[in-house]
Amino acid sequence: MKHRKKIVTNVTIKDVARAAGVSIATVSRILNGSAGVSEELAARVAAAVVELGYRPNDVARALKVRESRSIGLIIPDIENPFFPALVRGVEDAARQQGYAVILCNTDGKLEEEERYIRFLFSKQVDGILFTGGVDCDDSLGLLASLPIPVVALDRRAAAELSAVVCDNYQGGILAVEHLFEQGRKRIAFIGGPARSSSAIDRRRGFLDTHSRYGVVVNGRLMITGNYSFDSGYRAAVALMESREPFDAIFAANDMMAIGAIEALTEQGINIPDDVAVVGYDDIRMAGWYKPALTTVRQPVYEMGMAAVAMLLDQISGVRASACEEKFKPELIVRNSSGGREGHDGVSSI
């Protein structure tokens, strides 16, 4: 461990100016790379800076220039395996531009969302990245009322807000087409919360693909879950108890798919021989699970990065109007659907 002087009192731009024998304006100019400063003074100031261990006070700067170089990131729950990659994408992009990201977990609760929105506003964040819960319309209204750029993540653009999403409709199509190609005809659907835009779009993809293939959907094979393991488990139990025959399940996320598989397996039903299962998201566990889960991948990390880029464009005024960036989902075929990829070993990690 290198020895370092303990900094006791915060050293300010004033101290640097005194030490270098210049005015604070000159120090500020040099620090900010403004043009028109002599080599000599620049050197003297630079020396004083390292000598004193000076670091600019960002909150003073923020107060002066009305820009905190920080953004808020509101998500339901970092412990939900869908979010870490998203957060990492956001953080990487933000850091690259010198922005701090303040993380906010709301559990999708409206009151927490609004609490955090106000909190972030007080903190003077330059923008907010928002992934709300199912009933986030009120929050979106509050966001729209604030004079801060906002981009919605993984939620369809509402009102005049920008958004970064993945094409959930297309994802639903991908899943069902794959199942049809495997020769499955009676596909059960375990959906997400009724009002969630992602859930709605995936469901629409499911239904439309059936029409397009001329297959009639059995409504009793459609169940609504809430994206949790438990709801997937319960959905599969309900499916079995209904005694409606089915040879496949498309679950609107991986957690529910895994929950369903657990329930099915406990009853001696073989995956994929008896029932093929396709999930959604391609969370990390999907590749390790037995059977390895066929799923629809969203480029979550990239979406996080894109959202930051869009937000910063808005902050800097490059982009004024609301816009939507839509990513393409990708079908990842593994064992649970009986796809031909076969055993999914270490190579998939």
What residue 40 binds from its own copies, DNA, none (CB within 5 to 8 A, per partner kind)? DNA
**Read out DSSP for 262-293?**
HHHHHTT--TTTT-EEEEEE--THHHHSSSPP
- The three state secondary structure string of 40-88 is HHHHHHHHHHHHHCCCCCHHHHHHHHCCCCEEEEEECCCCCCCHHHHHH
What residue 36 binds from its own copies, DNA, none (CB within 5 to 8 A, per partner kind)? DNA
What residue 144 binds from DNA, its own copies, none (CB within 5 to 8 A, per partner kind)? its own copies
At residue 349, the 3 state secondary structure works out as coil
Using CA atoms, how far residue 217 sits from 34, 213, 285, 303, in Å, is: 67, 11, 30, 33
Check residue 68 for interaction with its own copies (CB under 8 A): yes
25: Cβ contacts below 8 Å, ≥ 6 apart: none
The span from the CA of 104 to the CA of 76, in Å, is 8
Total binding residues for its own copies by CB under 8 A? 70
Check residue 212 for interaction with its own copies (CB under 8 A): no
Of the residues 26, 70, 182, 197, which one makes contact with DNA according to CB under 7 A: 26
Check residue 228 for interaction with DNA (CB under 7 A): no
| Interacting residue ranges for its own copies, rule: CB under 8 A | 1-10, 55-60, 62-63, 68, 70, 77-79, 81, 83-85, 87-88, 91-92, 95, 100-105, 118-119, 121-124, 137-138, 140-142, 144-147, 159, 229-230, 233, 258-259, 262-263, 266, 284-285, 288-290, 345-346, 349
Question: Interface with DNA by CB under 7 A: which residues?
Answer: 10, 12-14, 21-26, 28-29, 31-32, 36-38, 40-41, 56-57, 60-61, 63-66
